[in-house]
Amino acid sequence: MPPQHDYFAAYRSLKLTRDAHGVLIAEFHSNGGPFTFTAQDHTEFVDAFYRIAQDRANKVVIFTGAGGEFIPEIDFSSFGNVADPSVWSQVLDEGTQIVENIANIRVPLIAAVEGRAHVHSEYALLANVIVAAEDATFHDLPHFAGGVVPGDGIFTAWSYRAGSGRAEAFLLNPQPLTARTAHEWGVVAEVVPNGKALSRALELAESYLRAPEVTRRNTRVHFIQPLKERIVREVGYGLSLEGASAADLVKSKPLKN
């Protein structure tokens, strides 16, 4: 087995495993089960995705989730008083860096989606290829449905992958989107039987490894560049708008102690 770098065990909710060929699996989880996204994870993922991108021993990266889910839930309360400018400043800085750091992963990135991709589905859409199980669904629980602007990159990613009209309708009237519909929209590359998304992603990774390393790396760099440019232009501004809406939401619905 290749040596495990120090960052592999550094993150509470990201299980990192890499095989002898350099295929890194990054599995979102909470205590080994389906992942509930928290403020601590928001902080840790900045470093996690940076380290993954910087480690040239990673030849292909796969994002997936534990317990038959991708990212199904979020703990809003863990973020504290988002009406506090210092709190939101941290959210803005981290949120911008998270999506930029995923975009800076310079090897093919595959998302293997089972179950619910209902929180931060843009993480999956920053992959080159999404393999989704038949019963997988995409949703946006944290934003317009929860009373805040979808400004953290989810609109940027969905409008880039699906077109702005579909993205706006999806985010303004958030309902679960099936894997089949996402496939029809061109967002999902392949729909596979339930429980088979990761195994199919590993097959794709094996095929990508047949390409020379510089070709493999530079193809990802080339493909992600237009989306990366949009992320740099849009996400900081979007998160500023989201922060103002979050403060207004707190003002209208005071936090309970």
**Tens digit of pLDDT per residue, the chain (257 long)?**
444 578 999 999 999 999 999 999 999 999 999 999 999 999 999 999 999 999 999 999 999 999 999 999 999 999 999 999 999 999 999 999 999 999 999 999 999 999 999 999 999 999 999 999 999 999 999 899 889 999 999 999 999 999 999 999 999 997 999 999 999 999 999 999 999 999 999 999 999 999 999 999 999 999 999 999 999 999 999 999 999 999 999 988 755 43
Task: Please check whether residue 106 lies inside any domain of the structure.
Answer: yes
Residue type, 34: P
Task: Please check whether residue 225 lies inside any domain of the structure.
Answer: yes
Task: Please check whether residue 189 lies inside any domain of the structure.
Answer: yes
Q: Are strands 137-138 and 109-113 parallel, antiparallel or unpaired?
A: unpaired
Alpha helices by DSSP H, the chain: 39-54, 85-103, 122-125, 154-162, 164-172, 179-184, 197-208, 213-252
Task: Please check whether residue 88 lies inside any domain of the structure.
Answer: yes
Number of domains forming the structure of the chain = 1
**What is the reported pTM?**
0.95
Task: Please check whether residue 179 lies inside any domain of the structure.
Answer: yes
> Domain containing 154: what range?
6-252
94, 122, 168, 242: the active-site residue = 122
Task: Please check whether residue 59 lies inside any domain of the structure.
Answer: yes
Q: Which residue is listed with tokens 């490894």?
A: 209
Q: Are strands 129-133 and 177-178 parallel, antiparallel or unpaired?
A: unpaired
Task: Please check whether residue 257 lies inside any domain of the structure.
Answer: no
Rounded-to-integer distance, Cα 69 and Cα 16, Å: 17
Angle, CA of 161, 163 and 168, to the nearest 5°: 110
Residue 114 is among the residues annotated as catalytic for this protein: no
Task: Please check whether residue 1 lies inside any domain of the structure.
Answer: no
